[in-house]
Structure 1
Amino acid sequence: MSSADPEQNLSPAELADREREETERKAREAAEQAQLPYNWTQTIRDVDVTAPIPANIKGRDMEVTLTKSKIRVAIKGQEPIIEGDFPHPILVDESSWTLETTTKPPGKEVNVHLDKVNKVEWWPHVVTSAPKIDVTKITPENSSLSDLDGETRAMVEKMMYDQRQKEMGGPTSGEQKKMDLLKQFQEQHPEMDFSNAKMG
């Protein structure tokens, strides 16, 4: 491990601080997301939004507009449940919405399925006006990796590797490459002093 790695030099107190900050960030993020009038989940390929609505609402009472860059979901005559610009474009023809009956609690919910144009990008939020989540903390489900084509899979695996390295305080693949190149250069030029070399 190179001395260019800042996390290796943290004291137990600094590591505890960092852990506390991470716990606080997660709690803050969860609280912000809980305030939204809808829930949402995503995979690397798509986003699903669900929102509870009154049991007496029918499909014709809903106003749902999906374009490549915007969404609007509302019950006619009421404030929208969700409205705004997507952070990234969707494939409109592959996206859809349904109205479903729920048992717990009894009622209905509107489900919106959004198909991402870019299949290697995590969304920080559904609409740009909503609070963001930290996409660097997302751990993709491994089962779907096998569904991806070779090039995409390699890119996702590299992103996952880099993310794990970052969490453990290790270098990302790009930083590792830089460090290897620097080491190689140092070996070729022993007369030069690299003790203050900064990575990044």
Structure 2
Amino acid sequence: MVDKLAPSDRHKFTHEGRTIYEWDQSLSEVNIYIEVPSGVKAKQLFVEISSTHVSLGIRPNPPYLDRDLSERIKAGESFWTLEDGVLHLQLCKADKGQPWKSALAGHEINPAQAENEKQRLLLERFQEEHPGFDFSGAKFNGEAPNPRLFMGGMNSS
């Protein structure tokens, strides 16, 4: 059931008409996807992930991305993979359920998209807490509450 509530589209950050990266989120993680040039192998990449910052690129070049994250993560539980020409960073949120307005600081989605993300994450939380119910068709009237804080907060495990 939770799969029904997963993001259908990734958010794209573009610069001068070129997609720099795409990202999506769940209650517990943020995923960043970056297409790498054809033929690049994992051992050629450098990826540094800290609780507040990511830096990555192809050795020996300067970083392709070197930015603060928009929120804190658990760096020790986060990792990256390279598959089919896509670098995938899977970042474990420090505050499970906290909706992110962007993966990287300064790259915020618009307010309507941010509200949709908050609603989707709240429904994902309800689905996780009540697996016998189907919330896939549920809708909110007005602004959705923060999924991390609503009704006393959520279990962070």
TM-score category by the smaller chain? 0.5 to 0.7
Give CA-to-partner distance per residue, 1:141-171, whole Å, 9 cap, x none.
Answer: 645533249xxxxxxx9xx98xx2226xxxx
Aligned length: 122
Of 122, 130, 145, the match for 2:126: 145
| TM-score, length-scaled by structure 1 | 0.52
Question: What SS does the aligned partner of 2:82 have?
Answer: strand
The gaps in structure 1 that reach 5 residues or longer are 1-29, 102-107, 150-156, 174-200
Compare CA radii of gyration and give the structure with the larger one.
1
Between the aligned partners of 2:116 and 2:62, the Cα distance in structure 1 is 32
* Higher relative strand content: 2
CA contact (8 A) 2:20 2:34 kept: yes
Give, as a single letter, the amino acid of the residue that structure 2 aligns with 1:72: S
Of 51, 59, 82, the match for 1:68: 51
| TM-score, length-scaled by structure 2 | 0.65
The gaps in structure 2 that reach 5 residues or longer are 1-10, 146-157
Change (3 A) 1:57 1:94: same
> Could you tell me which residue of structure 2 aligns to residue 165 of structure 1?
141
* Higher relative helix content: 1
By relative contact order (CA 8 Å, sep 6+), the higher-ranking structure is: 2
User: How do 1:97-176 and structure 2 match up within 5 A?
Assistant: 97-101=80-84, 108-134=85-111, 135-138=114-117, 139-140=119-120, 142=123, 145-148=126-129, 164-166=140-142
* RMSD, aligned α-carbons: 2.9
Give CA-to-partner distance per residue, 1:6-30, whole Å, 9 cap, x none.
Answer: xxxxxxxxxxxxxxxxxxxxxxxx7
Paired-residue identity, %: 18
